[in-house]
A and B are shown apart, each in its own frame.
Chain A
Amino acid sequence: MKQTTRTLSIYSSDTAGTASMLYELGGMTVIHDASGCNSTYSTHDEPRWYQMDSMIYISGLTETDVILGNDERLIEDVCKAAKELSPRFITLAASPMPVMTGTDLDAIADEIRARTLLPVFPIHTNGMNSYLKGASDSLLAFLQYFCKENVEKTVRPSVNIIGATPLDFSINGTVESIRKFLMEEGFDVISCMSMGSSFEEIISAGKAQVNLVISSCGLAAAKYLFRQFHTPFVTGVPLGKRYAGHLAQELRKAIKNGENSFSCLYDRSIPQERENAPAVIHESIFASSLACALEKDLSIPANVIVPEELQISLYRKDADIVAECEDSLREILTHTGTLIADPFYQALISENQSFIPLPHEAFSGRCFRRANKVLAARDLSQWRDILC
């Protein structure tokens, strides 16, 4: 039954995606909410919270504010905090309550912009969409605001990594491994959006010769950069050894011909015996890339399963399996081989079905963080015995 879940977890929301994507950029993100959004985000969605300061706040919405529409309190509170904390920019996001009461986030942003003279952009979250939408919208809004001036491309091969948040990549060194791999392949990394790069690095993204989109939340930004700076993009995460090498080739090819490549979707084949093939569940670009890596590195084609609730997933319509809900997923999984997915999904398979844990923080938060392994540019042969 759609929208009903007995056993599984739930993917993180758009407000968390917004905060996560902008976390390191020196802005102030204010979620118009009563209470839960900030504690949920800072506990389950944000592994940087303890060690890295960032101005993520909630408005502390009250019943009176909801009934009387007291937008002035939000405006005053944001302006006061901005004056005291000097953020580079301000982002406003909304939880379900203000959305349902019709709060005009655009008008509030205009007012704050006028009073603070700071860049202010509202992100139209509603607490009901998945983190991918929030992260995607906020990165796009950020780039549209700050990254629009024409700049000269670098002479050497160069790349932006787009779509990195701990929700998909944890803080286990995966993003650093991707960066290292690209550098070893001869690329200068201009920026990584948005982990490990400064505000200045990201707004100079137009310099790059190509963009590597490593999650679905980076796709809208990559398309914007293509329109704005004619920078082509390639989708895929350099997982495994051979697929990583292949992706580097795709990046070189894109620089040369200026065309975009949906590598992770089309550089893999559909398993001939779909019913017993391994299946991967994760964010769709990550899952597709892992399927590519399994085929290129181990010669084992795999199915990609896309949870429908992720909404803006990039997937292959002729090949990938969309799971509408827990019930349909349970049915799908009875017909697959080894499942590679977040450990919470193990509850849906039978005891004699093999399982490879692939923790995904956007799904299980910090529950399995310690088991999260780096697969970028790494040998996957340890999985061969389980998969065959």
Chain B
Amino acid sequence: MLKKINGRMDISGAEISIKEARYPAPFEPALEYNMPARGHWNIVHTAMLVPGLHQIYACARGCLRGVILTAGEMMEMERMSFVTLEENDYFNGRIEDEITEGVTHILEQLEEKKKLPPAVMVVLSCIQLFAGIDFPDILEKLRQRFPEVDFIDGYMHPTMRKSGLTPDQVMRRQIYDALKENTSIEEKSVTFIGNDHAFPDSADQVKMLKENGYTVRDLALCKNYGEYLDLARSSLFITNIPPGRHAGEALQKRLGRKVLHLPVSYSYKEIRHNLLLLAEELKIVSPAEEEFRKMEEKADLALQKAKEIIGNTAISIDHTATFRPLGMARLLLEKGFHVTKIHADAFTGEEKEDFFFLKENHPSLMIASTVNAKMRFAGKGVNKGEEKILAIGQGAAYFAGTPYFVNIIADASLFGFDGIIRLAEKMVESFKIPQNTEQIIQIKGLGCGSCLL
């Protein structure tokens, strides 16, 4: 690896100023590196949210290994099984039978132990889908054999990640697939769809709903399969995060419920807009201007306090911490923080306005790839000087080589004004207390159980 004359690694091309960056993909596709920050969830973590669901993967060894050990580290091996497909299976014309009989055999063993699960997700990968496997036929046969089980089709198809829905989006849709069409609707109830973590009661939207007598449901709060099925009882579904949006749209079609997408945001204007939309939809009284002003003042105060402590310390943010890294950066820059770098390889449609705002108003803000081959040599703070850096997100912490980081993934339910206040508090705490970055960020699935803790 070439070094620059100043002794630092040459990572030119792997990071550029936002002024030079293109939207939505700032970097050319190339060989990809994998940073050792593991807190973000994969499809196994997401599917485990469904209480009692048993996942059965039918794939090649290389594809199985990661999902099986995800369950292993979660200490959930009892809810994970697999059928290993070998080269010959693709040519002998028996692949559907192989999978059907394999899944049947696993379920018969569970039945013998009186542990037949209420729902089973059978997951296939790219190669079976390319081979034109008859997945509906497999599921039909399984449903006939085990009528008491809800079978869900699952997909682990990263090859298609850039040409359609990502495996993450599809999994967030499929985990609601067992909700029943004929569920009776309960008025004054709302289900949040697609999030990894449930909102706290202090969250703006939840608070507003509860103050108006609404029941709030969320998969992340379900303790048993019955509660999971009850998610379908709500009269309104809400999605907040970009990969959850498709799940909402699918449910809207299938269950005929109204779905509102109220995107996670760090813009006061957008947060207000979301709350007004929700109030309008439910025909409840929306917060008055005075209330909004108070919420904004509280958020401002929290950020101001944080700024007094954090001062001009450089801040970097990565895309695993938030679905809106540009929006978060914009808010912090507007409030006087010294945001210097964002680690992201692409931006969502919801980030477009923030991208061009920052390009215009903060052109020196750096955008750094997380997957570019050169980033292999940019980790652990290799290029860091002596300055203290506060990172928001595990990837940003790794690349900055800093022990001062806000350990969050996927916005950690830090939504709305309440979320901004909690973010400010977390920034202060993280700025004051160093953490063992190497140990913490390598744990998979932040917030899930782990045998490594």
Question: What residues make up the interface of A, taking CB atoms closer than 8 Å to B?
Answer: 1, 3-7, 9-16, 30, 33-40, 42-45, 49-50, 53-55, 57-64, 66, 73, 77-78, 80-81, 84-86, 95-97, 99-101, 126-130, 309, 344, 347, 364-368
Contacts and interface: CB of A to CB of B under 8 A. Distances in A.
Contacts of A100: 90, 127, 130-131
Given A81-B30, A100-B130, A367-B73, A3 B98 contact: yes
Given A34-B161, A43-B444, A367-B69, A127 B376 contact: no
A313 to B, nearest CB: 15
A126 B109 CA distance: 31
A185 B83 CA distance: 47
Contacts of B126: 34, 66, 96-97
Interface stretch (B59-67, B243-251, B317-325, B358-366): B59-67
A282 B379 CA distance: 34
A39 B34 contact: yes
B161 A30 contact: no
A43 B38 contact: yes
Nearest to A127: B62
Interface stretch (B100-108, B133-141, B170-178, B226-234): B100-108
Given A36-B63, A44-B66, A60 B29 contact: yes
B41 interface: no
Contact of A34 (B60, B109, B158, B380): B158
A54 to B, nearest CB: 8
A50 B130 contact: no
B159 A34 contact: yes
A53 B376 contact: yes
Contacts of A37: 62
A237 B98 CA distance: 39
Contacts of A36: 62-63, 66, 156, 158
B82 A60 contact: no
B87 A126 contact: yes
A43 B159 contact: no
Contacts, number: 199
A95 B66 CA distance: 14
Contact of B32 (A3, A38, A128): A38
Contacts of B61: 10-11, 13-14, 127-130, 309
Interface of A, secondary structure class, is: mixed
A43 B65 CA distance: 11
Contact of A42 (B34, B62, B73): B34
A63 B159 contact: yes
B62 A13 contact: yes
A86 B61 CA distance: 32
A126 B261 CA distance: 42
Interface residues of B, number: 66
Interface in B144-191: 156, 158-164
B31 A59 contact: yes
Given A43-B444, A57-B31, A95-B62, A309 B90 contact: no
11 contacts: A7-B81, A33-B62, A34-B126, A57-B31, A62-B29, A64-B163, A84-B2, A84-B10, A84-B373, A85-B373, A364-B72
B33 A3 contact: no
Given A44-B66, A129-B61, 7 more contacts: A4-B84, A9-B69, A59-B32, A62-B162, A64-B162, A95-B62, A96-B127
A50 B442 contact: yes
B392 to A, nearest CB: 20
B206 interface: no
B90 A366 contact: no
Contacts of A45: 65
Contacts of A366: 73, 452
A100 B63 CA distance: 14
B121 interface: no
Contacts of A57: 31-33, 373, 376
A15 B62 contact: yes
A114 B376 CA distance: 26
A5 B82 contact: yes
Contacts of A5: 81-84
A50 B90 CA distance: 37
A13 B65 contact: yes
A62 B85 contact: no
Contact of B85 (A3, A9, A309): A3
A26 to B, nearest CB: 11
A356 to B, nearest CB: 19
Contacts of B101: 1, 4
A347 B379 CA distance: 39
A53 B159 CA distance: 27
A4 B77 contact: no
Contacts of A39: 34, 66
A84 B374 CA distance: 8
